[in-house]
Amino acid sequence: MNTERSDDLRYLWWLILACVSGGLIYLLNPILTPFLLAAVIAYICNPMVTRMAGKSISRTAGTILVMFLLSGMFVALIFIMVPLFEEEARRLMDKMPAYLEVLRSKVIPWLEARFNISLQPDMNVLKQAISEHWQSAGGVAAKVLPSLTSGGMAIVEFLVNMLLVPVVLFYLLRDWDMLVKLVDEMIPRYWHQQISILARETDQILAEFLRGQLSVILLMSICYITGLWLAGLEFALPIGLVAGILVFVPYLGMIVGLTLATLAAVMQFQDWSGLIPVWIVFGVGQLLEGMLFTPWLVGDRIGLHPVMVIFALMAFGQLFGFFGILLALPVSAVLLVWLRHLHQHYLVSNFYKS
């Protein structure tokens, strides 16, 4: 009887701990974003620092090298992608009058005949407005900087968070082993074995998901960009990137990318023959993602239902903003592991049997 009461008390303490942790997360969510983002990046990069430490390179030096590598990749990405997107936007605006002409001569008559409605927009006024707006807009990059300097406290908060991320990342990477050891020493020995099993399973899930999903995003972006470029689509780069990045949400990358690519192909080719190669690209891409890349690099161990994926994205986005969306799935995968263990213990507890 005393053993049963002890078990029930232990579960009660776990419930209290979970409630307190949830309350703290809710209260501190405005400041948690940079710490969570830095923790995710540190988790992904820690194996590199650990390998360097195994080759007689101190963790401090290894951390600095890894952060220089990450900074170099980020800066290179900015310098490469911003001019490319600006060029794509300029090309889109240059072709906008032709697209409006297609809209006036083909799309609007089809809609009027199909739905028995009258649409008579003034295309000359619309063309002139778009042309004047683009000429006065300058470039995309020239407009971003002034908006960042006049955005108020929200922009200041965003910049502070961005500055905190590398600082927190440095200390997490440098002191990773020490922090893990410290947490391990804080765990009561009575719970140590159980929590160690839970931590190992969580680590396996996170490693499989985070590193695997990043690889899937990279490969699918390359596949979509290359495929759309071979299909002759002018806006292959932005559409391929959007479709590749959104693959972490089931079917969303394919749906959004296919929709954007279809609209761009209709405007560019102006007949149905140009759509077939674009549709083939997304069909092949979906097969590669579902049958090769995701099973190979991520596996089926995450076990998140698509409805739970959508809910997690919306919930974490509401709590933590944009970075919450990025953190939603890995954190949900961890919570899923914990809930499985909690469910197993609940089934053998007196709460369930009584």
- The C-alpha atoms of residue 189 and residue 195 are separated, in whole angstroms, by 10
pLDDT value at 148 more than 50? no
Q: What is the pTM of this model?
A: 0.63
Residue 243 forms part of a structural domain: no
pLDDT above 70: percentage of residues in the chain:
74
- Domain extent, residue 161, equals 29-182
Digit-coded pLDDT (tens) for 226-251: 999 998 888 888 888 888 988 877 67
- The C-alpha atoms of residue 241 and residue 217 are separated, in whole angstroms, by 9
Residue 86 forms part of a structural domain: yes
| pLDDT value of position 66 | 92
Q: Which two tokens stand for residue 269?
A: 């080719």
Digit-coded pLDDT (tens) for 58-100: 899 999 999 999 999 888 878 877 777 777 677 777 777 777 7
Distance (Å) of CA 78 to CA 42, 85, 184, 267, 326: 21, 10, 40, 29, 19
Residue 41 forms part of a structural domain: yes
Yes or no: say if 66 and 50 are a contact pair by the CB < 8 Å rule: no
Structural domains in the chain (count):
1
pLDDT value at 141 more than 50? no
Residue 139 forms part of a structural domain: yes
pLDDT band for position 138 (50/70/90)? Answer: very low
Residue 309 forms part of a structural domain: no
Q: pLDDT higher for 237 or 223?
A: 223
pLDDT above 90: percentage of residues in the chain:
10
pLDDT value at 45 more than 50? yes
Residue 148 forms part of a structural domain: yes
Residue 250 forms part of a structural domain: no
Residue 63 forms part of a structural domain: yes
**What count of other Cβ atoms lies within 10 Å of the Cβ of residue 199?**
15
